[in-house]
Amino acid sequence: MASVKPSVPKGMRDFSPAEMVKRNYIFDTIKSVFRKYGYQQIETPTMENLGTLTGKYGEEGDKLIFKVLNSGDYLAKVNEQALTARNSNVVAPSISEKALRYDLTVPFARYVVQHQNEIAFPFKRFQVQPVWRADRPQKGRYREFYQCDADVVGSDSLLNEAEFILIYDEALSKLGLTDFNIKINNRKILSGIAEIIGKPELIVDMTVAIDKLDKIGLNGIVNELLAKGFTQADIDQLEPVILLQGSNTEKLEKLKAILASSAIGLKGITELETIFTYLQSFTLNKATVELDITLARGLNYYTGAIFEVKTNEVAMGSIGGGGRYDDLTGMFGLKGLTGAGISFGADRIYDVLEELNLFPAASNQTTRVLICPFDAAGETYALPLLQQLRNQSINAELYPAGAKIKKQLDYANNKNIPYVVVIGSDEVQSGQLTLKNMQSGEQQKLSADAIIAEITKA
């Protein structure tokens, strides 16, 4: 076979041992917090039926779904005309019936409907798996990345929303972040605003535009809104809302006045007030909760609260987001089931922790003891000790006999192994083994039992 230049697909990555240790540190931290709040883990398949995914993410989203070619002679069954017309949109469904999952929320909705009779509601689940998007990669954006989602379905209590804030706060504080904002908004308020202006049909354009405040500024928003069909009068009404200032309570008061004639807008305000009331009974670690009316988020299935988390310590897009969706399972035939959920962007959190140097130092140590035999006799002598170490839950390995001691110690240094046990003919004869501390360079002659005791106490 001709040799192929080794490479991975665009936007996808290998993770080497040192990275995996750090990634698992993030995943484990987030998972432990999810569990603490009563969420249970599930997994869903890498692929879903194409029909499960299409139409859930909007027109743009559909284009970004990775489709999987059917097995076998997939072209044979394709409609002749569609094929000769070279129309991808027509041909695609007949040559691809599966696709890689695009997020974890839609597969979860599918799961809930499919397993509704086994599930006790409210059902709180978390899921940590990769998702795929046929996007153009750039900084902090990959074609394969992990989402860490926690969702609850079958409970309309706003306590869930309040707890999401606690989860964000606890997990991110635990990871060492000290300055981050949990932004919160409510889709109903945005609907109310669109209603007051009299352009409810343009709510999507409106939210997409005002979401860009910190990126393109007020002028940029105004230009975009004018292009989308808003009038100057609409914008005059919108401007005080976009530029809303003050504490969360002050903002809510001002909004109440603005939205006085919109029932749905007022409902959104009440919901936020309830969430804030819940939060008064809890203490947050490091998070700042901020009502941000410009927060829109792209996904159109949100109907109530919306969240987004941003760190203030480094320049990075959002590191988490979520919200409430009243009818996600409806598209799979199960009506009237409300849900709410959040997601952590693990890959971005990784970049943030890396930049702030927040990964624990010990996390690059895997093996604690390396046994270095000089020869085959030393190797044989070492085997019982190797097992004893492992029985004491000490990560231990034996360098196979035949290599020079220098090479073995190099190996220990490379893997950041703190202790080595050197076994040569002297040691085999006396039973006193050489324990070497690789940091300090000290070494002492000890019995096997004493070595285990020494390492256990360190």
| Residue numbers at the binding site for RNA (CB under 7 A) | 7, 9-11, 58, 60-61, 103, 133, 135-143, 145, 147, 208, 212, 215-216, 297-299, 317-321, 343, 345, 347-348, 374, 405-407, 409-410, 412-414, 422-427, 434, 436, 438-441, 443
Q: Of 278 and 292, which CB lies nearer to RNA in the complex structure?
A: 292
Complex with RNA: residue 9 or 72, whichever CB lies closer: 9
Q: For residues 216 and 383, which CB has a smaller minimum distance to RNA in the complex?
A: 216
- Nearer residue to RNA within complex by CB, 261 or 312: 312
CA–CA separation, 445 vs 347, rounded Å?
A: 46
Structure tokens at 197: 């202006």
d(C-alpha 381, C-alpha 383), whole Å: 6
**Which CB sits closer to RNA, 86 or 215?**
215
Amino acid at 413: N
Q: Tell the smallest beta-carbon distance from residue 295 to RNA (Å).
A: 11
Between residues 269 and 373, which has the closer beta carbon with respect to RNA? 373
CB of 12 to RNA, least distance (A): 9
- Shortest distance, CB of residue 290 to RNA, whole angstroms? 17
SS3 assignment for 280-345: HCCCCCCEEEEECCCCCCCCCCCCCEEEEEEECCCCCCCCEEEEEECCHHHHHCCCCCCEEEEEEE
How far apart are CB 17 and RNA at their closest, in Å?
A: 15
Look up tokens 């040559």; give the residue.
95
Describe the crossing of helices 187-197 and 263-280 by its angle, rounded to 10 degrees. Answer: 150
Q: How far is the CB of 404 from RNA (least distance, A)?
A: 7
Through-space distance between the first and last CA atoms of the chain, rounded to whole angstroms: 52
Nearer to RNA by Cβ, of 270 and 447: the residue is 447
CB-nearer residue toward RNA: 252 or 322: 322
CB of 230 to RNA, least distance (A): 15
Q: Return the SS3 of 9.
A: coil
Of 276 and 302, which has the nearer Cβ to RNA?
302
Tokens 């020494």 correspond to what residue?
A: 454
Cβ at position 4, least distance to RNA in Å: 12
Which of 105, 329 has the CB closer to RNA?
105
**Integer Cα distance of 152 and 166 in angstroms:** 15
How far, in Å, CA of 172 to CA of 175, rounded? 5
Rounded least distance, CB 356 to RNA, Å = 18
CA distance 182 to 192: 22
Instruction: State the Cα angle at 94 between 89 and 96, rounded to 5°.
Output: 90
Sequence-ordered strand ranges (E) for 15-169: 40-41, 47-49, 67-68, 98-100, 123-132, 144-153
Q: Choose among 181, 178, 180, 174: nearest CA to 25.
A: 174
Residue 76 Cβ, how far from RNA at the closest point, in Å? Answer: 27
Q: How far is the CB of 446 from RNA (least distance, A)?
A: 12
What the block records as the tokens of 207 is: 């939210």
Closer residue to RNA (CB): 119 or 213: 213
What's the closest the beta carbon of residue 427 comes to RNA, in angstroms? 5
> Taking the C-alpha atoms of 196, 200, 204 and 206 in order, what is their torsion angle to the nearest 10 degrees?
-30
Upstream peptide bond of 122 is cis (omega within 30 degrees of 0): yes
Q: Among 359, 362, 358, 361, which Cα is nearest to 179's?
A: 358
Q: Any residues with CB less than 8 A from the CB of 182 and at least 6 apart, and which?
A: 165, 168, 169, 287, 288, 289, 290, 307, 308, 309
As given in the structure block, the two tokens for residue 436 are 């070497």
How many other CB atoms are there within 10 angstroms of residue 422's CB atom? Answer: 21
Task: Tell the smallest beta-carbon distance from residue 3 to RNA (Å).
Answer: 10
| Nearer to RNA among residue 235 and residue 266 (C-beta) | 235
Burial of 414 (0-12, 13-18, 19+ CB in 10 A): exposed
